[in-house]
């Protein structure tokens, strides 16, 4: 504890340390934002290896076979997935928040936990369920009932999987809006004779439009640039979107300048959409009359409440239980081609085979330590940036927040391309190493680290820190003993979120993978591509167990809540 008897502050040294903090942040921002973006722009303009700059790469890239089709496919996959997610999320959110449907808390919790389950693993599960040859639902449900088998491969399967994987991006903010909406306008409308449907259409729906629009925009952006599910479900039938076309351009012979050409317009468009989303959603207000929000009375569904429960149960079954349950089952099967029977089940053989392969275990441990180090690094950088924005007076303050949020516009595929261009060659020469994977992971989670910690600073008064400084504590001691402990909640929350996202990160990893820097998601993808489904199922279970275990332990013992 600091006392008045401690040495007085050394004013000059404290000033020097604090004066150097903006410079330290600028150096970090240069490597994390400016270098990748600058490298991407430069490479898109560089004609071959001549050093000549021009726009020739743009016309040449668009003339490549399949590129225009891939752009169109990305667009309509994004739109179709957004429509599907809306049809799932908005009614589900209304029933969970505003009715007496059973198991409402359970449904909300499972939607949050969906973030721990990566989309490409869900796609693997649906291949095992609805694959045209050995899909379990086709074999044991649809065919015996005389129904046509469903082929999960192709755009229809991609939209199905993505809709049920991404619906929480709409469901969670809409549920939050409905929870915090003051119901007195609805009561006033009812007292004036408005029916339930009229009130819903004229009052409730307009009030939830901001989170609906914001969530829909995030769903569209995610589906537009996602790699894993598209590669697994579209690859066998030749269906490509922008990220898969980029990976093909990176194969031998690599045409990285064409990949950069594809990346830049996407980067600009997504950046603009994210700015629009933040402006609209960042100012949301759901309480339209005075008083305390969240006072609404739940709608009594009567005999329909169990029908609503079945609808919610179906959403959970399709989004979580079926795809991940079949992966668990597959991890205990001897062979995929044999009938599902007791003779075709084993207990630990597939897990033993998994742990007996050094390259798989190395990739698993790489994922663990890279995710932890990147999480810690992003939090340290975010604490510095948030302190500069909230506490310091610097000429850099106005650019810190936009720079920290800029990586939001980097989809995994584009960030991977940018990292290869910027850091693989001179002067860094870290291409093909775990260092480039670590740096890319750190960039990936900087925006959410800053968002959480900046919000934490906004809720803290500066008086305690000022008192510590007046008693002689240095800046670093004040941060270590006062500020960081007060930010424990936001730091723990974003640490868990970051680890969960990074431990299952495929979109960046697949572009940076060279065989010497393997991580668990890339191994999972390769196992699926090689049809080694038993090992894939076992490794999927291990990855999901780690992520879900981290989330549940953090919620149970640390009180961490993952915000949407």
* pLDDT for position 199: 61
Both 324 and 379 in one domain: the answer is no
- Domain range spanning residue 371? 9-59+349-564
For residue range 349-395, what is the model confidence (pLDDT) as tens digits? 999 998 888 889 999 999 999 999 999 999 999 999 988 888 776 67
Q: Is the pLDDT of residue 476 over 50?
A: yes
For residue range 331-355, what is the model confidence (pLDDT) as tens digits? 999 888 778 888 888 888 999 998 8
Both 186 and 321 in one domain: the answer is yes
* pLDDT for position 301: 80
Confidence class of residue 13 from pLDDT cuts 50, 70 and 90? very low
Which percentage of the chain shows pLDDT scores above 90?
29
> Using CA atoms, how far apart are residues 58 and 63, in angstroms rounded to an integer?
9
Structural domain ending residue among the three candidates 330, 359, 391: 330
Both 45 and 131 in one domain: the answer is no
* pLDDT for position 172: 86
541 closest CA partner among 562, 517, 524: 524
**303, part of any domain:** no
Phi-psi region of 251 (alpha: psi -120 to 50; beta: other; left: phi over 0): beta
162 closest CA partner among 114, 209, 210, 208: 114
* pLDDT for position 457: 84
* pLDDT for position 265: 82
| Mean pLDDT computed over 490-494 | 88
Q: Is the pLDDT of residue 183 over 80?
A: no
**301, part of any domain:** no
For residue range 118-151, what is the model confidence (pLDDT) as tens digits? 788 889 999 999 988 778 999 889 888 888 888 9
For residue range 21-47, what is the model confidence (pLDDT) as tens digits? 778 888 888 888 888 888 888 888 888
Phi-psi region of 432 (alpha: psi -120 to 50; beta: other; left: phi over 0): left
For residue range 168-182, what is the model confidence (pLDDT) as tens digits? 989 988 888 777 765
Confidence class of residue 208 from pLDDT cuts 50, 70 and 90? confident
Both 168 and 204 in one domain: the answer is yes
Q: Name which residue leads in pLDDT, 264 or 75.
A: 75
Nearest-10 Cα torsion for 300, 301, 305, 307: -170
Q: Is the pLDDT of residue 91 over 50?
A: yes
> Using CA atoms, how far apart are residues 471 and 477, in angstroms rounded to an integer?
11
**72, part of any domain:** no
Both 238 and 369 in one domain: the answer is no
For residue range 217-234, what is the model confidence (pLDDT) as tens digits? 889 988 998 999 999 999
Q: Is the pLDDT of residue 116 over 70?
A: no
Q: Name which residue leads in pLDDT, 493 or 560.
A: 493
Beta bridge partners of 53: 46
Mean pLDDT of the chain: 83
> Using CA atoms, how far apart are residues 264 and 259, in angstroms rounded to an integer?
9
**48, part of any domain:** yes
User: Could you tell me if 533 and 128 are in contact, meaning their C-beta atoms sit under 8 angstroms apart?
Assistant: yes
**186, part of any domain:** yes
The structural domain count of the chain equals 2
Q: Is the pLDDT of residue 397 over 80?
A: no
30 closest CA partner among 381, 299, 275, 504: 381
Both 509 and 470 in one domain: the answer is yes
Please report which residue ranges of 409-460 form alpha helices under DSSP H.
412-423, 434-458
User: Could you tell me if 521 and 509 are in contact, meaning their C-beta atoms sit under 8 angstroms apart?
Assistant: yes
Q: What is the CATH number of the domain that holds 32?
A: 1.10.3720.10
Structural domain ending residue among the three candidates 301, 330, 359: 330
Both 363 and 505 in one domain: the answer is yes
**243, part of any domain:** yes
Confidence class of residue 288 from pLDDT cuts 50, 70 and 90? very low
* pLDDT for position 156: 94
Please report which residue ranges of 253-392 form alpha helices under DSSP H.
256-281, 305-316, 322-330, 349-355, 358-390
For residue range 439-466, what is the model confidence (pLDDT) as tens digits? 999 999 999 899 889 888 877 777 777 7
**428, part of any domain:** yes
> Whole-prediction pTM value?
0.84
Both 354 and 488 in one domain: the answer is yes
Both 410 and 510 in one domain: the answer is yes
For residue 180, give the H/E element and its range. Answer: none
Both 322 and 355 in one domain: the answer is no
Both 99 and 51 in one domain: the answer is no
Both 84 and 44 in one domain: the answer is no
**67, part of any domain:** no
> Using CA atoms, how far apart are residues 546 and 418, in angstroms rounded to an integer?
30
| Mean pLDDT computed over 153-157 | 94
Structural domain ending residue among the three candidates 330, 362, 394: 330
H helix count then E strand count, the chain: 30, 0
């Amino acid at each position: 504890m600091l006392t008045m008897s401690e040495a007085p502050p050394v004013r000059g040294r404290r000033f020097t340390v604090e004066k150097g903090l903006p410079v330290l942040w600028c150096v970090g921002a240069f490597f994390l934002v400016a270098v990748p973006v600058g490298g991407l722009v430069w490479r898109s303009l560089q004609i071959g290896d001549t050093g000549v700059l021009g726009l020739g790469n743009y016309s040449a890239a668009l003339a490549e076979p399949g590129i225009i089709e891939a752009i169109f496919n990305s667009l309509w996959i994004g739109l179709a997935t957004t429509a599907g997610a809306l049809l799932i999320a908005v009614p589900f959110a209304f029933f969970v928040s505003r009715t007496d449907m059973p198991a409402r808390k359970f449904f909300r919790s499972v939607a949050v936990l969906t973030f721990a389950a990566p989309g490409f693993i869900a796609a693997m599960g649906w291949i095992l369920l609805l694959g045209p040859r050995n899909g379990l639902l086709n074999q044991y449900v649809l065919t015996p009932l005389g129904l046509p088998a469903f082929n999960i491969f192709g755009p229809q399967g991609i939209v199905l999987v993505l809709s049920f994987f991404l619906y929480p991006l709409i469901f969670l903010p809409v549920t939050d809006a409905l929870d915090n909406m003051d119901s007195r306008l609805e009561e006033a409308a009812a007292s004036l004779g408005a029916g339930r449907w009229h009130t819903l259409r004229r009052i409730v729906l307009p009030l939830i439009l901001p989170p609906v629009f914001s969530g829909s925009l995030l769903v569209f952006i995610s589906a537009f640039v996602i790699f894993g599910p598209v590669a697994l479900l579209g690859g066998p039938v030749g269906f490509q979107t922008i990220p898969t076309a980029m990976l093909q351009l990176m194969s031998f012979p690599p045409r990285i300048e064409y990949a950069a050409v594809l990346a830049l317009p996407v980067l600009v468009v997504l950046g603009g959409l994210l700015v629009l989303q933040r402006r609209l959603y960042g100012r949301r207000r759901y309480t339209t009359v005075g008083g305390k929000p969240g006072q609404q009375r739940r709608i009594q569904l009567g005999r329909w409440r169990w029908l609503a429960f079945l609808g919610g149960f179906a959403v959970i079954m399709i989004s979580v239980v079926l795809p991940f349950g079949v992966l668990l089952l597959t991890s205990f099967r001897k062979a995929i081609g044999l009938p599902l029977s007791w003779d075709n089940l084993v207990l630990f053989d597939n897990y033993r085979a998994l742990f007996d392969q050094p390259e798989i275990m190395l990739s698993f441990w790489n994922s663990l330590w890279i995710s932890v180090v990147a999480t810690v690094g992003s939090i340290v950088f975010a604490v510095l940036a948030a302190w500069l924005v909230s506490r310091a007076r610097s000429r850099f303050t106005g650019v810190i927040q936009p720079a920290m949020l800029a990586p939001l516009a980097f989809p995994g595929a584009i960030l991977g391309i940018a990292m290869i261009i910027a850091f693989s060659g001179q002067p860094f020469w870290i291409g093909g190493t775990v260092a480039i994977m670590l740096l890319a992971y750190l960039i990936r989670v900087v925006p959410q680290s800053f968002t959480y910690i900046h919000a934490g600073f906004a809720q803290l008064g500066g008086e305690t820190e000022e008192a510590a400084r007046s008693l002689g504590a240095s800046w670093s001691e004040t941060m270590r003993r006062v500020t960081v402990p007060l930010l424990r909640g936001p730091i723990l929350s974003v640490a868990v979120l970051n680890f969960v996202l990074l431990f299952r990160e495929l979109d960046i990893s697949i572009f940076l993978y060279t065989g010497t820097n393997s991580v668990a998601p890339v191994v999972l993808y390769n196992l699926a591509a090689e049809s080694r489904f038993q090992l894939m199922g076992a490794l999927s279970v291990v990855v999901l167990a780690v992520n879900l275990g981290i989330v549940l332990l953090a919620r149970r013992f640390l009180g961490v809540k993952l915000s949407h």
